A and B are shown apart, each in its own frame.
Chain A
Amino acid sequence: MRRLLAFAIALLLSGGAALAAADKPKPGVLREGRQIRDLHYGDVLFHFYQDDFFNAIVGFTAARQMGRAEPHAADGELLLGGMLLSYGQHQQASQIFQALLDSGAKQEIRDRAWFFLSRVSFDRGSVDRAQDSIGRITGKLPGRLEDERRLLEAQVLMGQQRYAEAAAQLADWKGGEDWAGYARFNEGVALVRAERIDEGLKVLEIAGTTGGSSEEDRAIRDRANLALGFAAVQTERHEAARTAFRRVRLEGPWSNQALLGLGWAESAMGHYREALVPWMELQQRDLLDPSVQESMLAIPYAMMGLKAYGQAAQRYEKAIASFDVESRNLDRSIQRIHSGAMLDELFADDNPNSLGGNWQIDRLPATEETRYLVRLMSTRGFQEGLKNYRDLRFVHANLQRWSRDLGTFSDMLATRKMRYEEHLPAVRQAMERNAIDVAMERRAALVARLSTVEQTRDPISLASAREAAQWAQLQRVSQRISQLAPGPQADALRDRARVLQGVLRWNLSHDYAVRLWQTRTELARVDKALAEARTLRTSVVEAQSSEPSRLAGFGKRIDAQGPRVAALLVRTDALLARQRQELQQIAADELTLYKERLAGYSSEAHFALAQVYDRAAVKAPAP
């Protein structure tokens, strides 16, 4: 259910784009019509798509608190509700969906919220409430979510024993092919339960003979054939029943029931020898399975039909002995469950950092209880209890990690305080030197000079250092020439110096505009650097005054979390103990049920055996 739900939310996120049935999307299709508008929201989805609901929820709520993920507000709330549902927080999820409905959200969002509320109610066993919620959906849901709505509505109707209406809801399925098998199977079952047997058998026949080749498709076909077979036997259509049972795979979750049913169909037609074939096959299988247990009695029943009374008696005795051995095994296991040994072994290699629902069945310990555990894990009560217990172990590991981290945060903060106090005198000294103010004064002088240059259009002021040196040298040379005695030599030198000055001035005048622009650009760079330095100085000044209170603020926040974590750890420990007790009780109750069922079969076998002996006594009168 969790995977289906996660899949439904993925559909919801895709904005109704068509999807393949498998978890892996067709590349390019899923993202159609959907753009991530916030990286942090994308990070939430990254966890969500890995079924890591806990971290996805924490990431989403933290992002929301930090003012991130806002572009996805409405979708985000739906996603959060769905994730909480997947994490088992149905109350919180319902509150979110309800809040969305109360907030006057758009109709399409409201419809989806009603759908999820209906799903929550149905999963929690509140069929009427589920009916009420699903009835409030006004429009068509996007994409394949609409198929899910129709299926859920039919399931709700069946839960209310309104089988004819459920069948009508599913008739002429025009939804996606991926759900067609489910739809036909449910329709067939609904028709049979509505006592419209002929129609029901016809629909189950279609469900049992059509569909794809995936494991899911095969499993649905098996179930349809099984339902068809039993319905046919009950209405004495034994040939049809035999055909249907034979279509069920020999290895699969429904194979034992099919083998048992096949035997019953054959024996009902008086074919006892043929009935023995599937029932003998069941003898090779796990005695905990009710079909296998029943076959222990069915075999001697067939032998009686074949008038092989001696063999029948032996078989009954064998059944009684097997039931006794199994019953004693169950007693031992129930004791081990109560002592806590079984759960200790079950969780010995389990990673506490893994969430409750992600349990790998191949990790079961190799003990004598393993086959009981496998069977227990297929029961809803134990599954739920196990998931809750593992969730609590995860919570415990999570809180312990935070407890350690809070200690590290405190140490880190103390180090920061120390470093701050160590660096403060040096920073203050640097501030006092006021290098930025000096630079600002120099910059102001530069601006004033540039302004004068612009007014006078004096190109010499924009000379490079080399050119300025050359100009100064020429000035000095001219000065010295002016001190020479008049004459042709002095005149020639004066002319030469004048020409050189003229060339230099001409060059500088020619580049005046470019140089002025370059100087302005440089000044702009200086302005930017000075502005950054001023900003930095402002932050340093602010930090000087605010850092102590900032550090103190962090200290308070860290100190406040410590007791919260500690209190939650106490609550977690208490709940872990209660949940463990509950899980042990569920397991023991379940095994007690197996034992009682075995006792019932055992007394039936005793009774039948007595009948065989009586019959033998009648046939062989005393000499």
Chain B
Amino acid sequence: MNFPKSLSALALLCCSVAAPGAEAPSAGLDQDLQNLKKDVLDINRDLFVLQEDLLFPANTQVAVFVSMDVGLFFALDSVKLSIDGVELAHYLYTEREAEALLKGGVQRLYVGNLKVGKHELVAVFNGKGTHERDYRRGTTLEIDKGIGAQFVELKISDLQRKQQPEFVTRIWE
């Protein structure tokens, strides 16, 4: 019976945590794959820019972003966005997306075009407040759209003083 031989083989197997990664089995294929993925990333970048230029020209573009700071008093479920009474986005967040916001990610909720002049933006946030209570809060912002792209941030942050969430809107230059 080859008792010691099999033991040493298994012992090596269980202690292999520190082994470096092996070289890819087929270097040619790996190289071609790397090159293709690079070219695909490049064309996606170019097409992304083309799409933005074409669909959302800089002089009429408006983009609305959602961000979260802390999130102790509010767990985001969904957000509804309207501009001038027209509903433009109704977004339900997955757990993964809500976590990404908590970590510091900023979601581009909506991108579209607006004419020069005054517009009313309304955002309604739904989620859970403290003690798992349903929480719904709206915020309104008047935008004076000039010539040039306009970016709006809808920020959910914690108001420590009142132990409740705060919904702030900010226009970025």
Interface residue ranges, A against B (CB under 8 Å): 1, 10, 13, 23-25, 27-28, 30-31, 34, 36, 39-43, 45-50, 54, 57-59, 61-62, 65-66, 87-92, 122-127, 130, 154-156, 158-159, 166, 182, 185-186, 189-190, 192-193, 223, 226-227, 230-231, 233-234, 254, 257, 260-261, 264, 268, 290-291, 294, 297, 301, 380-381, 384, 388, 391-392, 395, 398-399, 402, 405-406, 409, 412-413, 532, 535-536, 539, 554, 557-558, 561, 564-565, 568, 571-572, 575, 578-579, 582, 586, 604, 608
8 Å CB contact of A42 from B25, B99, B105? B105
Q: Does B110 contact A (CB under 8 A)?
A: no
- Report, as a range, how many residues of chain B touch the other chain: 35 or more
Partner of A31 from B10, B43, B69 at Cβ < 8 Å = B69
For the complex, what is the distance from the CA of A608 to the CA of B3, rounded to whole Å? 13
With A154-B18, A158-B18, A391-B37 already in contact, 7 other A-B pairs whose C-beta atoms are closer than 8 Å: A91-B34, A130-B20, A230-B7, A380-B22, A578-B32, A582-B25, A582-B26
Q: Is B86 an interface residue (CB 8 A)?
A: no
The 3 nearest A-B residue pairs measured at CB = A42-B106, A46-B105, A230-B11
Question: Is B103 a contact partner of A189 (Cβ separation < 8 A)?
Answer: no
Q: Is the CB of B103 within 8 A of A30?
A: yes
Would you mind naming 9 contact pairs between A and B with Cβ atoms under 8 Å apart?
A: A30-B102, A62-B49, A123-B21, A186-B18, A227-B14, A260-B10, A297-B1, A565-B43, A608-B1
Q: Is the interface of A mostly helix, strand, loop or mixed?
A: helix
B72, A27: Cβ atoms closer than 8 Å:
yes
Does B151 make an interface contact (CB < 8 A)? yes
Most buried by A among B18, B33, B52, B71: B18
Contacts of A42 in B (CB 8 A): 65, 67, 104-106
Q: Which residue in chain B gives the minimum CB-CB distance to A38?
A: B172
Which B residue's beta carbon lies closest to that of A46? B105
Q: Does B36 contact A (CB under 8 A)?
A: yes
Across the interface, which residues of A come within 8 angstroms of B59, CB to CB? 539
> With A10-B103, A42-B105 known to touch, is A159 a contact of B18 (CB < 8 Å)?
yes
Option from B2, B17, B48 in Cβ contact (under 8 Å) with A58: B48
Are A27 and B45 in touch, CB under 8 angstroms? no
Contact B49 A87 (CB under 8 A): no
Q: Assuming A125-B23, A230-B7, is B43 touching A561 (CB within 8 A)?
A: yes
How distant is B133 from chain A, measured CB to nearest CB, in Å?
18
**Smallest Cβ-Cβ distance to B44: which chain A residue:** A58
- List the A side residues contacting B11 at CB < 8 Å: 227, 230-231, 234
When chains A and B are docked, how far (Å) is the Cα of A124 from the Cα of B21? Answer: 5
Cα A58 to Cα B41 in complex, Å, equals: 6
Q: Which residues of the partner chain B approach A268 to less than 8 Å between Cβ atoms?
A: 3
| Closest beta carbon of chain A to B93's beta carbon, Å | 11
B1-60 CB contacts (< 8 Å) to partner A: 1-4, 6-8, 10-11, 13-15, 17-26, 29-30, 32-34, 36-54, 59
Q: Shortest beta-carbon distance, A534 to chain B, in Å?
A: 13
Q: Is B20 in contact with A36, judged by CB distance below 8 angstroms?
A: no
Partner of B41, one of A57, A126, A227: A57
CB closest chain-A residue, reference B152: A39
A264 in contact with B3 (CB, 8 Å):
yes
Query: Is the Cβ of B40 less than 8 Å from the Cβ of A568?
Result: yes
CB neighbours of A159 from chain B (8 A): 18-20
Contact indicator A582/B70 (Cβ below 8 Å):
no
Instruction: For the complex, give the distance between the alpha carbons of A10 and B103 in Å.
Output: 9
Is B100 an interface position by the 8 A CB rule?
Answer: yes
Does A388 contact B50, Cβ atoms closer than 8 Å?
no
Find out whether the CB atom of B43 lies under 8 angstroms from the CB atom of A65: no
* A127 contacts across to B, CB distance below 8 A: 20
Of the candidates A31, A254, A579, A604, the one whose C-beta lies within 8 Å of that of B33 is: A579
Taking a contact as CB atoms under 8 Å apart, the answer to whether A123 and B20 are in contact is yes
State how many angstroms separate the Cβ of B56 from the closest Cβ of chain A.
11
**Cα of A575 to Cα of B63 in the assembled complex, Å:** 38
Q: Is the CB of A227 within 8 A of B108?
A: no
One of B24, B45, B49, B52 near A384 (C-beta < 8 A): B24
Which A residues are CB-close (under 8 A) to B100?
45-50
Contact check, A586 vs B1: say whether CB atoms are below 8 A apart. Answer: no
Complex contact B3–A49 (CB within 8 A):
no
Q: A130-B20, A227-B11 are in contact. Are A578 and B54 (CB under 8 A)?
A: no
Residues in chain A near residue B96, CB distance under 8 A: 50
Give chain B nearest CB distance to A492 CB in angstroms: 58
The listed residue (B18, B22, B41, B104) touching A166 by CB distance below 8 A is: B18
Known contacts A42-B65, A50-B96, A66-B52; A125 and B20 CB within 8 A of each other: yes
A189 to chain B, nearest CB (A): 5
A31–B157 Cα distance when bound, in Å, is 12
C-alpha spacing A124/B20, complex, angstroms: 7
Provided the pairs A42-B67, A261-B10, A564-B43 are in contact, do residues A193 and B15 lie with their beta carbons within 8 angstroms?
yes
- Please state if A392 and B33 are interface contacts (CB–CB under 8 Å): yes
- B97 contacts which of A50, A88, A126, A297 (Cβ < 8 Å)? A50
CB-nearest residue of chain B relative to A293?
B6
Closest to B97 in A: A50
B104 contacts A65, CB within 8 Å?
no
Contact B34 A398 (CB under 8 A): no
A380 to B23 alpha-carbon distance, docked (Å): 11
**Interchain CB contact under 8 A, B105 and A124:** no
Q: How far is the CA of A578 from the CA of B48 in the complex (A)?
A: 29
**CA–CA, A415 and B19, complex, Å:** 60
In whole angstroms, how far apart are the Cα atoms of A125 and B19 in the complex? Answer: 9
